[in-house]
A and B are shown apart, each in its own frame.
Chain A
Amino acid sequence: MNRVVVNRTGLGLAMYAVAAFLFLHLPLLILAAFSFNRSRFTVWQGFSLAWYRAALHDSQLLEASSNSLIIAIFATVVSTIIGTLCAYGMWKRNSPALAGSLYLSLVTPEIVTGISLLAFYQWIFRFLRIPLGMHTVILAHIAFSIAFVVIVVMARLRTMDGQLEEAALDLGANHWQAFRYITLPVILPGVLAAALLAFTVSFDDYVITSLVAGVDSETLPMVIYAIARRGVNPVVNAISALIVIGFGALILISERLRSA
Chain B
Amino acid sequence: MNRLRAWFLAPSWIVMGGLFLAPLAVIFAYSLLTRGVYGGIARPWTAESYQRLADPIYLGILWRSVWIAALSTVLCLALGFPLALFISRSGRHKNLYLSLVMLPFWTSFLVRTYAWMFLLRDTGLINIVLEKLGVIRAPLPLLYNNGAVILGLVYGYLPFMVLPLYATLERLDRNLLEAAADLGARPWSALTRVTIPLCAPGIRAGAILVFIPCLGAYLTPDLLGGGKSVMIGNLIQNQFTTARDWPFGSAISLALMAIVMALLVGFLRRQEEGLL
Contacts and interface: CB of A to CB of B under 8 A. Distances in A.
Interface in B104-134: 104, 106-119, 121, 123-125, 128
Interface of A: 2, 5-6, 9-10, 13-14, 16-17, 20-21, 23-25, 27-28, 30-31, 34, 41-43, 81-83, 85-86, 88-90, 92-93, 95, 98, 101-105, 107-113, 115-120, 122-123, 139-140, 142-143, 146, 150-151, 175-176, 179, 197, 200, 204, 206-207, 211, 221, 224-225, 228-229, 231-232, 236-237, 240, 243-244, 247-248, 251-252, 255, 259
A110 to B, nearest CB: 7
Interface in B68-99: 79, 82-83, 85-87, 89, 95, 97, 99
Contact of A95 (B9, B110, B158): B9
Given A28-B115, A111-B216, A98 B100 contact: no
A231 B122 CA distance: 11
A176 B4 contact: yes
B236 A115 contact: yes
Given A90-B9, A229-B223, 10 more contacts: A13-B82, A23-B79, A107-B212, A110-B218, A112-B27, A119-B27, A146-B16, A207-B218, A228-B117, A252-B103
Nearest to A241: B111
Contact of B100 (A21, A43, A259): A21
Contacts of A14: 86
19 contacts: A17-B97, A24-B100, A27-B155, A28-B112, A34-B118, A83-B12, A89-B9, A90-B9, A101-B17, A101-B21, A112-B236, A115-B250, A122-B40, A142-B15, A150-B12, A151-B276, A204-B110, A228-B113, A251-B107
In order of increasing CB-CB distance, the 10 nearest A-B pairs are A109-B216, A89-B8, A120-B23, A116-B23, A143-B19, A86-B12, A27-B115, A17-B86, A89-B9, A85-B8
A139 B276 CA distance: 25
Interface in B1-56: 1, 4-9, 11-13, 15-17, 19-24, 26-27, 30, 40
Given A107-B264, A110-B216, A146-B16, A115 B187 contact: no
B94 to A, nearest CB: 12
A92 B5 contact: yes
A113 B100 CA distance: 30
B107 A247 contact: yes
By DSSP majority rule, is chain B's interface helix, strand, loop, or mixed? helix
Contacts of A237: 118
Nearest to B125: A42
Contact of A98 (B13, B128, B246): B13
A109 B216 CA distance: 5
Nearest to A141: B19
B101 interface: yes
Given A111-B236, A116-B27, A224 B111 contact: yes
A104 B8 CA distance: 20
B112 A247 contact: no
B141 interface: no
A20 B264 CA distance: 29
A204 B114 contact: no
A236 B119 CA distance: 14
B201 interface: no
A6 B13 CA distance: 54
A179 to B, nearest CB: 8
A101 B89 CA distance: 37
B181 interface: yes
Contacts of A93: 5
